[in-house]
Structure 1
Amino acid sequence: MTTEHPSELQEWVTDRVETWVETYKKSMLTPVILRIVAQGQPVTVAEIATQIATLTGWQVTERGLYRTIKRLQDSDLLTSQDTTAPRTGAKRKDISLTQLGDEFLSRVLAELLILDQ
């Protein structure tokens, strides 16, 4: 059985894509988080983290995710409500979009360029 090794060109492209994603991930995280929240609100931070990993394959640190969510709350795009988990009684925050967050997400999505071939 032979295994194919990626060509030099394939390796170069892979490296360029990974570098591009790492460079722009922080700015792309805002619409990703807002979209996740919009589709399932209210959601927990753990649900957001799981969806980011599932949908994008990105690994975002817990600290980075909390900082981004805090920034979005400070910008009045997200709101949170303290709740109690049903089975455990643990305290958690349920995250939802604000009206401004919904408008912001709609405008960002409208600006995305989608090319049909």
Structure 2
Amino acid sequence: MLLSEEFNNIKSQPKSSQDEIDALKLEKEASKVVFSAALRKFGSLGPFSEETTVKYSHVFTNKGNGYDSTTGVFTAPISGVYLFLFYDHALGGESAYLTLTKNGERVVTTGHQKNTQEGSSFYT
């Protein structure tokens, strides 16, 4: 190899190294998946006589575009471990149940039992 060819190869390495760094940064940014959503500002939802998909219409964050507010379905855009936090509350005289479903199978259910002794109230 001629000295000038070797110099050109060495000179081009920082550019290819920078390209690799830039590609890794893009890959890291693309791997971030976060969504945060709420039903709506005020009001209640239901009652329903059958299982109903809850559509969280107020989307605060949807990095990775995994959550579809028109369907209420989150589709993992990349493989990984996901954490879902959700809660429910019903007025004292009502019951409520929320179920997290993955690929049609129930993962976990949380509920609020009907209780007329509870002091819950709701103001609009």
Please state which band the TM-score falls in when normalised by the shorter chain: under 0.3
Q: Which has the higher contact order (CA 8 A, sep 6+)?
A: 1
Give the TM-score normalised by the residue count of structure 2: 0.21
Answer 1 or 2: which has greater helix percent: 1
